[in-house]
Copies of this chain bind each other. A is one copy, B any other.
Amino acid sequence: MLDYDFDESIGYWLTVTTQRYHRAFNDALVPYGITFRQSQVLGWLALEGELSQAELAGKMMIEPPTLVRILDRMERDGLIRRRPCPTDRRRKLIGVTAKAKPVWAKIVECAKGIRARATDGLTDRQQATLKKLLGRVHQNLLLTPPTELSDR
């Protein structure tokens, strides 16, 4: 039978919990017409000011091609602006528009609500533990996979 317990796997719980989290977040954002990833873009821009696409992709831990289409939609909806970098003609600087600013205030409320809901019943210590354990798993998986004898 070669059975393998998905229920017992960390990966299973990681998957279903994250899925649930994103769904809750996206549902909460529907009234404002944006998505989880779009809110994250606005979040980083609010924190850091203008960023290039590569920098933003780095902060969000996604690949640049993934970011391109997220930004395309946000630009289409008038939430962000792409501006050519004055010193490097390859780069484009991403900035928020005036239209996005009031949206951002709503998102912060939303995010706090979801976070509170997600961590309901968990003590501060437990939340810290959860983050620490997730951080360790993340770190473990960042390392290059143990391919037999890297050939370079």
**Which B residues touch A120, using CB under 8 A?**
140
**Closest B-chain residue to A104, C-beta based?**
B2
**Which B residues touch A146, using CB under 8 A?**
117
Task: Give the interface size bracket for A toward B.
Answer: 35 or more
Given contacts A122-B133, A130-B137, 16 further A-B contacts (CB under 8 A): A2-B104, A2-B108, A4-B47, A6-B47, A10-B119, A13-B130, A13-B131, A15-B61, A18-B18, A19-B61, A21-B141, A24-B141, A24-B145, A117-B141, A122-B136, A122-B137
Q: What's the nearest-Cβ distance from chain B to residue A64, in Å?
A: 15
Q: Would you give the 0/1 interface string for A125-152, flagging 1 where the beta carbon is closer than 8 Å to chain B?
A: 0110111011111101111011000000
Interface positions, chain A 4-48, Cβ under 8 Å from B, are 4, 6, 9-11, 13-25, 27-28, 40, 43-44, 46-47
- Indicate if A57 sits at the interface (CB-CB under 8 A): no
**Which B residues touch A134, using CB under 8 A?**
13-14, 17, 130
